[in-house]
Amino acid sequence: MGDKPISFRDADGNFVSAADVWNEKKLEELFNRLNPNRALRLARTKKDNSSQ
């Protein structure tokens, strides 16, 4: 398992690392849910960068 810290157990009772559970897509969804303005800011920044 390497250097990943064990964070919790899954439904089967096996130890699961947070690094295995929190992938990029799930983190993006969490950040956007916790901060709704983040998605708007990222879209605005992307638009500004593409127009330059």
If phi > 0 it is left, if psi is from -120 to 50 it is alpha, else beta; for residue 45 that is alpha
> pLDDT tens for residues 29-46?
888 899 989 888 888 898
Question: What pLDDT was estimated at residue 47?
Answer: 86
Residue 20 near residue 9 (C-beta atoms within 8 A): no
Type of residue at 50? S
Average pLDDT, the chain: 81
**Residues 20, 4 contacting (CB under 8 angstroms):** yes
The pLDDT, as a whole number, for residue 4 is 58
Show the DSSP H helices in 1-52 as ranges.
18-21, 24-34, 36-51
